[in-house]
Structure 1
Amino acid sequence: MKVLLVLCALFALSEGFTRIPLQRGKKLRQLLREKGLLEDFLKQHHYDTSTKYAHSFASQGVSEPLINSLDAEYFGTIYIGTPPQEFSVVFDTGSSNLWVPSVTCQSEACQNHQRFDPSKSSTYHSTETSISIQYGIGSMDGVVGSDTVLVSSLIDTNQQLALSTSEPGPFFTYTKFDGILGLGYPDLAVGGLIPVFDNMMTENVVQQHLFSVYLSQEQNGSVVIFGGIDESYFTGPIHWIPVSYQRYWQIPMDSIIVNGKVIACESGCQTIVDTGTSLVTGPSPDINNIRKVIGATPGQYGQYNVNCNDISSLPDIIFIINGIQFPLPPSAYTEQFGPGDCTSSFQVTNNYLWILGDIFIREYYSIFDRENNRVGLAKSV
């Protein structure tokens, strides 16, 4: 299993973010009302599952707003069941399962979040099958079922999902989201469950078999768009890179250069574009080379510090992907937590895969094209 958003959120927790009280983002119901979508639908507390209804919203792509929590996690809101029960989830391209806490879960993590009550949904079906999902840090054990899932204005019927009955350890206790909605390929799904986007494609509720992501550093303004591409979020051409292995959104990377010199991924490597990880991660020798070039030194909690006064003069880290240069400026790969307290956003992973997480995606509008099995990258505005 991948190093999901766990690496990044652990980083957030280690920096003292656990002291910040949990805050829920603006409710999706309010956001949809502001957009004039689904007002009558939600008031009636029932689903219109006709294809015609779903297509009326999908023709130009359907946007789901995301809340940015401390640049460490981005989450939006979905509804499960009939009548709908509301949950905040990370839309994660680095995993493929949908899960939320169950009302039967007594773990502290579940008690701190919204929990799904199957007995209150007339459309829920239990399979009585157990499931266990292990992330880099944190895990969940639960049961498999199916129900209707509402994502923005898209109605996903008979969607397979997991309900956690146990979330051991402290990690999920402190996250601001309730669960995870995986947007990776089916091969990555634990238990062979059908991912949400695959079900959307099968049910023809998205006109195009792709989705795109724009991440902002502001609390609001980020978005995932199902079935469409919004040109207002990027400038210049879209560069398309073929997916090299259909599990993660994995693509080949040529090299990483600084000032014209290759400093990492010297003979080519593989990377994944992952909305569920906040940092950029890679093998230890390569990450250490990058840290050396930017003058990062060991600090607390396994982080590497940089001199805040030097940030403006640090070089771009340039990722060469499919022959195209994708520069990451120092403003993107460093973070300041207080006066004189700045850290590097490059971390070591034990996996051979590089991970281009949120710090990269904030710079490049990302398109995940299942129809053609490719990733599109364009410079974000």
Structure 2
Amino acid sequence: MGTRGLAVLLLAAVLLQALLPASEAEGLVRIALKKRHIDRNSRVAASLSGREEGQHHLIGGANTLRSEEEGDIVSLKNYMNAQYFGEIGVGTPPQKFTVIFDTGSSNLWVPSAKCYFSIACYLHARYKAGASSTYKKNGKPAAIQYGTGSIAGYFSEDSVTVGDLVVKDQEFIEATKEPGEGGEIIFGGMDPKHYVGEHTYVPVTQKGYWQFDMGDVLVGGKSTGFCAGGCAAIADSGTSLLAGPTAIITEINEKIGAAGVVSQECKTIVSQYGQQILDLLLAETQPKKVCSQVGLCTFDGTRGVSAGIRSVVDDEPVKSNGLHTDPMCSACEMAVVWMQNQLAQNKTQDLILDYVNQLCNRLPSPMGESAVDCASLGSMPDIEFTISGKKFALKPEEYILKVGEGAAAQCISGFTAMDIPPPRGPLWILGDVFMGPYHTVFDYGKLRVGFAKAA
């Protein structure tokens, strides 16, 4: 597996709750991953910034799992260098479906034969309950809202086959409405051929989403400051890009030359309140109280930038009280973070105000994608994530997605903005862009996630 490969290991996998006893070597279940290069035509067909509606999702508990043969190998494919999916069977005899092995989701769903009004259903295999001898009716309604896209349908129960492993009476959703290098997923152990050195482990803080605590994010070796006191993060194989707080993504955009959106609210903050904010910070006013003291926020304490964006870990949209979604308040909060960071680097006040004004021109696109100059990859900085005290760096060729070849090539930033308010946020989603270069271990038995450089 190459450096951009993905090797996801579930030591006591979410999917596997009961395996027949076997030796460590014999008990491994391997699912091979293959690579399909991204191209301009396929780019039109999918959103790179989250879970695409057209793929099905696999995760969730199992009642009983048996293997008639050890060492099963099932071919998986890489979709646009951004998602990994493979084949499972549902029912008896098995009806074949390609699914995303999504560590950031807790549900298994496939399109239903009763999905009549969504075009996406007609582009995929559909589950026919009447064709399965092991089908059991459930009927409970279901609806899932992802970061991008959603599905709705109802629960059913049937046998689910992964390789030669069979899960009996597995609950899943029949959806009736759908609005790098290859690698390997290994169940039950890990293969040292896929990684270099030792893994760095971090405890899981939110079991439903493989969530853990993450430290500072550095751009070109310099702290962005925003997560210096800690941020939450999720290792999510069902998300294509790296999603993080707008304040940090804007700084990354500025450093890599990504096209952004000009924010007039941000520019107004700098021109009318910039000096006042700086004076308060120099007077050692608590940063979280600065925006309320200048009259731009009506509360003491950061509620999170753009808090109205729907969370991928919530089923319901964030409730707004009319305060923390105010664009002027949000812009002020970002400006405070940026100014704090520059003050820590002993920059002059004039340089700080000029820098923040430049960042106002680099806010992430609401569409999720930010274009960059392919010819500038050599001058772009490494982006480092601090996990359990260790820095994990991404090189430009790892966080920039290239569409096409030669003079027709286009490059897209692998970073997208997503703001989750406290207490759940600030939150990072470390998707396939991160999990490609880093061998990832999901240790269900010890409730921890481990990372090592992919081999």
The normalised TM-score by structure 2 is 0.59
Q: Deviations over 1:199-223 (max 9, x none)?
A: xxxxxxxxxxxxxxxxxx13xx322
Equivalent residue, structure 2, for 1:113: 124
Q: Does the CA contact (< 8 Å) of 2:97 and 2:125 recur in 1?
A: yes
Q: Evaluate the alpha carbon distance shift between residue 76 and residue 66 of structure 1 in structure 2; reply closer, same or farther with a 3 A threshold.
A: same
Per the TM alignment, residue 302 of structure 1 is displaced from its structure 2 partner at its CA by 4.7
In terms of mean alpha carbon deviation, does 63-72 or 155-164 score higher? Answer: 63-72
CA contact (8 A) 2:68 2:164 kept: no
Distance apart, 1:294 and its partner CA: 2.0
Map 1:23-172; keep pairs closer than 5 Å. 54=67, 56-57=69-70, 62-106=72-116, 107-167=118-178, 169=179
- The residue type paired with residue 162 of structure 2 is V
The amino acid across from 2:119 in the alignment is E
Once the two structures are TM-superposed, the CA of residue 244 in structure 1 deviates from its matched residue by 1.6
Deviation at 1:64, TM superposition (A): 4.0
Q: Which amino acid aligns with 1:361?
A: M
Q: Does 2:402 align with 1:336?
A: yes
Cα deviation 1:81-137 (Å, max 9, x = unaligned)? 111110000010111101101111112111111001111111010112111112223
Name whichever structure is richer in strand by fraction.
Answer: 1
SS of residue in 1 equivalent to 2:78: strand
How far 1:258 sits from its partner (Å)? 2.7
Partner of 1:200: none
**Residues 356-379 of structure 1: CA distance to partner in whole angstroms, max 9, x if unpaired?**
100100010111111000001111
- On the 8 A contact 2:236/2:432 being kept in 1, the answer is yes
Quote the sequence identity (%).
41
Instruction: Give the C-alpha shift of residue 224 in structure 1.
Output: 1.4
Q: CA RMSD in A?
A: 2.6
Deviations 1:244-276 (A, max 9, x none): 222211111111113432114222101100000
Are the structure 2 counterparts of residues 262 and 64 from structure 1 closer, same or farther at C-alpha, using a change threshold of 3 Å?
Answer: farther
Of 112-121 and 224-233, more deviation after overlay is shown by: 224-233
Q: Secondary structure at the match of 2:143?
A: strand
Structure 2 residues without counterparts, runs of 5 or longer: 1-39, 47-53, 55-62, 262-364
- Any idea what the Cα deviations from partners look like across 1:273-303, whole Å, max 9, x if unmatched? 0000111011111111111222222288553
TM-score by length of 1: 0.70
- Given that 1:102 and 1:163 are in contact with CA atoms closer than 8 Å, whether structure 2 keeps it comes out as yes
CA distance in 1, matches of 2:259, 2:374: 12
Supply the distance in 1 between the matched residues of 2:144 and 2:397 (Cα, whole angstroms): 35
Partner of 1:237: 198
For the pair 1:16 / 2:44, whether they are aligned, the reply is: yes
**3-state DSSP class of the match of 1:315?**
coil
The alpha carbon displacement at 1:230 in A equals 1.4
Distance 1:318 1:63, change over 3 A: farther
Structure 1: gaps (5+ residues): 1-11, 19-23, 25-48, 170-216
Picking from 295, 298, 309, the partner of 2:260 is 298
Alpha-carbon distance change, 236 to 55 in structure 1, aligned in 2, over 3 angstroms: farther
Q: Which runs of 4+ in 1 moved over 6 A?
A: none
| Distance change >3 Å, CA 237–CA 81, structure 1 → 2 | same
Pairs within 5 Å for 1:192-231? 217-218=180-181, 221-231=182-192
The one-letter amino acid paired with 1:129 is: K
What is the rounded CA distance, in whole Å, between the counterparts of 2:243 and 2:72 in structure 1? 31
Return 361-370 or 286-295, whichever deviates more: 286-295
Range with greater deviation from structure 2 (128-137 or 86-95):
128-137
Quick one: higher RCO (CA 8 Å, sep 6+), 1 or 2?
A: 2
User: Are the equivalent residues in 2 in contact too, given 1:65–1:222 (CA < 8 A)?
Assistant: no
Query: Matched residues in 1 for 2:97 and 2:382: separation?
Result: 38
Report how far residue 15 of structure 1 moved. 4.2
Go from structure 1 to structure 2 and tell me whether the alpha carbon gap of 1:127 and 1:303 turns closer, same or farther (over 3 Å shift): closer
2:387 aligned residue: 321
Is residue 63–residue 224 contact of structure 1 (8 Å, CA) maintained in 2?
A: no
**Counterpart AA for 2:419:** N
Question: Is contact 1:62–1:228 with CA below 8 Å preserved after alignment?
Answer: no
User: What residue number does 2:222 align with?
Assistant: 261
* Structure 1 counterpart SS, 2:212: strand
Deviation at 1:304?
2.0
Letter in 1 for 2:442: F
Relative to structure 1, the CA distance from residue 143 to residue 310 in structure 2 (aligned partners, 3 Å threshold; closer, same or farther) is same
Q: Provide the secondary structure at the position in 1 that maps to 2:110.
A: strand
Amino acid at match of 2:67: A
Cα displacement (A) at 1:56: 4.7
Q: Distance in 1 between matches of 2:75 and 2:433?
A: 18
Equivalent pair of 2:112/2:128 in contact (CA under 8 Å): yes
Q: Which whole-Å CA distance do the structure 2 matches of 1:251 and 1:13 have between them?
A: 36
Return the alpha-carbon distance in structure 2 between the equivalents of residues 158 and 306 of structure 1: 48
How many pairs were matched up? 289
In structure 1, distance between residues paired with 2:69 and 2:378: 48
